[in-house]
Amino acid sequence: MSKTFYITTPIFYPNAKLHMGHAYTVTLCDIICRAQKIQGKEGYLLTGADENTGKILKVVEEQGQSVEEYLSQVTENFKDLYSKLGISYNQFIKTSDKEKHWPGAQALWKKLVDAGDIYKASYTGLYCVGCETFYTEKDLADGKCPVHLTAPEQIKEENYFFRLSKYTQVIKEKIESDELLVLPQTRKNEILALLERGLEDISFSRPVKNVPHGIPVPGDNSQVIYVWCDALVNYISALGYGRDDELFQKFWPADVHVVGKDILRFHAAIWPAMLLSAGISLPKSLLVHGLITSGGHKMSKSLGNVIDPYELIEEYGYEAVRYYLAREVSPFEDGDMTTERFKESYNANLANGIGNLTSRIMKMAQDNLDAPIVITEEKNMSEYFALYDTYEISKAGDYVWNEIKFLDQYIQEHQPFKLIKTDKEAGQKMISDLVARLHRVALMLAPILPETSEKIKTLIKENKVPETQLFVRKD
Ligand code: MSP
């Protein structure tokens, strides 16, 4: 079995304010990567920003900043959110990075040219400015962009094209056979249906005037590489593809690209086609998550239901946010989030759940045990960690909280604090066993609540009650 585990987040556009959706993707990746590291793999988590977009030009102009200044500010904001969420990432790749990213994008472009898959053509297409995407009639919903619900513009341009159509059949076979595993099954069906309808060749470059800070097409400075052969390439350029490929050799193919359902087609059709054309192995899997909604609706400013991750972190602590995203949102479907549900779940499962249980057990231990318990090697954790291998994170959460509930009930029924008065030895044994089970809970919590996990382990090592409650109840 492979010793490495390479996982990627999508790279984020620098024009939108960070919200719970972004926090979700990176937290999910962080949890998955931590679980693999705990199981002994060398994990590598890549994240970054998708910066060569024309969308920022207006903002930059309005704010009187240079593109570089603007982008470096946005990167700081991303990194700030990551650090507040306890994300342990290995690299933040910026597609504006001429040293790290551009050589990879241009090297891959040349491979596609060598394979005979890039050609020049005049193109008239339906272009949505919001998406920066050309749509075909088939993609539109009632003649409108399915994302922005606005009518696209007719645009005529001279572009380079990529022979995506050539790869339809082979990609279909690889997805059908799970050689490229698309999870969950609903998304696999969705992409297979799309492939069944066939793929059209797509525009792969733009005139330089549209995105002056974009990556030049090798051999033609009048055009820049458009989105696909730029953004998607981050997954390999960051590992040194096209410059120094030590990391690439070590970590590619990716174990999983984690993406939202809105970018499934790019990752399950265009990206594999590019890799096939260039003779590079395909990623092993795509985990396609749903969107975070609030009160059943897509978060939007006008509905006033946008949940700001910073506010929740400020009030409840970052682990409460990690907990909610891990347990209360399934990685396979849309997940709803309201501040009311957040608070309810926090009180029930963190303050009254793990927080309370730790205090109860450690109080009995501190008062009645002569020394800290000796932890022997934990057995039978593999059933639990296997849930992370199939990305069943909310089930992993249920598993731990069932154990927490069980221990609460056990204490209720067996009352070790009373037993100790009548039979010291039996009482001490029961309390020691409870501490050992709490230790297992701490180990299981590590991917989701890394700090709490460490705190509980330390309390057990010192045989002490927490000085302050792990999670304070909110009224
Ligand atoms: N730049 C492209 C991705 C290129 S990857 C090579 C992009 N960027 S994005 O900033 O718009 O979105 C980044 C990720 O955030 C996507 O996976 C998207 O699904 C996710 N989310 C954006 N809003 C979301 C929610 N409300 N809920 C969950 N995830 C959401 O697309």
Here the CATH number for the domain that contains residue 401 is: 1.10.730.10
Residue whose Cα lies nearest atom 8 of ligand 1: it is 12
Query: How many C-beta atoms surround the C-beta of residue 459 within 10 A?
Result: 25
Assigned domain for 168 exists: no
Alpha-carbon distances, residue 380 vs 36, 260, 386, 402, 448 (angstroms): 16, 33, 11, 16, 19
Which atom of ligand 1 is nearest the CA belonging to 271?
6
- Tell me if residue 298 is catalytic: yes
Indicate whether 379 belongs to any domain.
yes
Q: Range of 349's domain? A: 338-462
User: Counting beta carbons within 10 angstroms of the beta carbon of residue 302, is it exposed (0 to 12), middle (13 to 18) or buried (19 or more)?
Assistant: exposed
Does 87 reside within a domain? no
Domain count, the chain: 1
Strand 133-135 relative to strand 118-128: parallel, antiparallel, unpaired?
A: antiparallel
**Partners of 90 in the β-ladder:** none
Q: What is the DSSP letter of 360?
A: H
CB of 163 closer than 8 Å to CB of 117: yes
**Quick check: is 381 in a domain?**
yes
Domain-located, residue 20:
no
Give the whole-angstrom CA distance, residue 424 versus residue 416. Answer: 10
Q: In the annotation, is 145 catalytic?
A: yes
pLDDT tens sequence for the chain (475 residues): 679 999 999 999 998 778 898 999 999 999 999 999 999 999 999 999 999 887 888 888 888 899 999 999 999 999 999 999 999 999 999 999 999 999 999 999 999 999 999 999 987 888 887 777 778 888 888 889 888 888 999 888 788 999 999 999 999 999 999 999 999 999 999 999 999 999 999 989 988 887 888 999 999 999 999 888 999 999 999 999 999 989 999 999 999 999 999 999 999 999 999 999 999 999 999 999 999 998 888 777 777 888 899 999 999 999 999 999 999 999 999 999 999 999 999 999 999 999 999 999 999 999 999 999 998 877 789 999 999 999 999 999 999 999 999 999 999 999 999 999 999 999 999 999 999 999 999 999 999 999 999 999 999 999 999 999 999 999 8
How many CB atoms within 10 Å of residue 31?
A: 24
- Marked catalytic residue, from 17, 58, 120, 298: 298
Distance from C-alpha of 23 to C-alpha of 292, rounded to nearest angstrom: 10
Residue 399 inside a domain? The answer is yes
Q: Is 128 a catalytic residue?
A: yes
DSSP state of 141: B
Q: Which amino acid is at 472?
A: V
Q: In this structure, is residue 385 part of a structural domain?
A: yes
The torsion angles phi and psi of 472, rounded to 5 degrees, stand at -80, 130
The candidate with the shortest Cα–Cα distance to 211, out of 231, 234, 188, is 231
The reply to whether 188 belongs to the active site is no
Is position 333 within any domain? no
d(CA 31, CA 38): 11
Among 120, 148, 297, 421, the one annotated catalytic: 148
This prediction's pTM: 0.93
